[in-house]
Amino acid sequence: MARKPGNEKLFAARLSKGWFSQERAAEGVTDAGKDALRDSSFAVSVRTYRRWESDSPGWPQPDYATALRAAFGRGPDHLGFVPPTDLGVDVPADYQEIIPPVKRRTFTAGVGAAVGLPWLAPSPASAQPSDRSEIRIGADDIDMLQATAADLDAIDQRFGGDRLWRAARSHLMWVHYLIDVGVYTGDVEQELRQIAGQLTTSLGWFCYDADQQDEARTYFSEALNTALLTQDEPLATRTLSNMARQSVDLRKPREAVRFARLAEQHAAAWAAPPRVAALLAIRAAQGYAKMRDEMNASAAIKRAWRAFDQGPSDRDPEWSLFLNEAELVCLEGMCRSDLGQHRRAVKLLDRSARLQDIEHSRNRGMCLARLAGAAIQEQDLDHTVAAARESLRLIDGGMTSTRNRRQLTVVRDGLKPYRKASGEARETIELLDLHIA
């Protein structure tokens, strides 16, 4: 006869599945997690599962929470897990040394949101209801879900998407779960669906940054379909802008230009502010530059700057705020590099790297990597070495972006012909090998 453990709710759920041993339960949750996460390497050890059935187990990590929900058809809050009482988490010492607070809320809270999404703070939706079949969702829950989505985007801007996309996927699944089983008003339903749409395109971006390109295109397509069905013009605009950027990296420049033009049509439908117009113009410029169409690329760059110079607006959506002066200078520099104008690109990218703030460290890291790449084309070893090493310093500080590391691979390969003649080139190659292996 099975001994009743401390966590009676999980124990009862296990028995209801016919899993009469913890070993069998660990296997079952593992199988469910592999399917739900689409990750064949996912696994729950017997030791982990045994800890879950102890008295008052701590809240599971996002992937584990997803697996539990897939296995038992209910969330951790209904399986005896204890939600954290606040947003605080321990931050590694090296992060604390180099990273100041995020403007909207502290970095500690932001990372907490990413690590324990989406149930870090008690709310009416996450608290256990008196009737298990009923989860009521109100304004407080909407605020929490919106704040968490905004935190995800802020963390991406600083650290990149490699460690973020799985947590974002868990949060999106939670939002869809609330839409499916929650009790709410018509206004709350609309807000839930808007949050789901924005999270979907954010998740696509995180996957793109993590070089999960097929996953990214799937989420972008889902977000765009949602936008078209619900006539959410801002979501369509944002998603098509993201798709245009991805298409440049996938060496599909004509597709990038087409997406940028479609985004401009959707932007016109909601009279988007100048900052959005600037973003879409520079997206088109990137496509033209990849095609080596200097005339159209330069014209689009000029449109971008004319729009940007109109200044910020109260109507600027949060997803467009990353486009500051440093970022626009960087994107122009990338265009010039793709056009073969490497000397001009070096000046622009160097200026951008000096302008960019720490809140946009991922973008600064990409700018530095592109600067190193443009400088090597000019046989400017001093600029190449300095930019590459500064980009590596950001990686050491916690920035995780496969997209950035791939660009550094190009830099490493470009430095190889100088390995024998330059000690600095040789040392930089060795450092790059350590970081991008």
Q: Which residues contact 122 (CB under 8 A, 6 or more apart)?
A: 83, 85
Structure token digits, residue 65: 């929470």
CA–CA distance, 207 with 201 (Å, rounded to integer)? 10
Element (H, E) at 182: strand 182-183
CA–CA distance, 413 with 430 (Å, rounded to integer)? 11
Task: Return the CATH number of 324-437, one of 1.10.10.10, 1.25.40.10, 2.102.10.10, 3.40.718.10.
Answer: 1.25.40.10
Sequence spans of domains, the chain: 1-82, 324-437
CA–CA distance, 40 with 214 (Å, rounded to integer)? 16
Q: Phi and psi of 58, rounded to 5°? A: -70, 165
CA–CA distance, 304 with 294 (Å, rounded to integer)? 15
Cα 108 to the center of its chain, rounded Å: 17
CA–CA distance, 302 with 377 (Å, rounded to integer)? 25
Asked if residue 277 lies in contact with residue 312, where contact means CB atoms within 8 angstroms, the answer is no
CA–CA distance, 375 with 74 (Å, rounded to integer)? 54
Tokens 């369509």 correspond to what residue? 236
Peptide bond into 100 cis (omega under 30): no
pTM of the model: 0.69
Per-residue pLDDT of the chain (437 residues; tens, 9 = 90+): 445 568 888 988 888 788 888 899 999 999 998 888 778 888 999 889 988 988 888 888 878 888 898 888 877 878 888 875 433 333 333 323 322 333 333 333 333 333 333 333 334 444 444 444 578 899 888 998 988 888 888 888 888 888 788 888 888 998 988 888 889 998 999 999 999 999 999 999 999 999 899 999 999 999 999 898 889 999 999 999 999 999 999 999 999 999 999 999 999 999 999 999 999 999 999 999 999 999 999 999 999 999 999 999 999 999 999 999 999 999 999 999 999 999 999 999 999 999 988 778 888 888 898 999 898 988 888 889 898 888 888 887 777 788 888 888 888 988 888 888 888 888 888 888 887 75
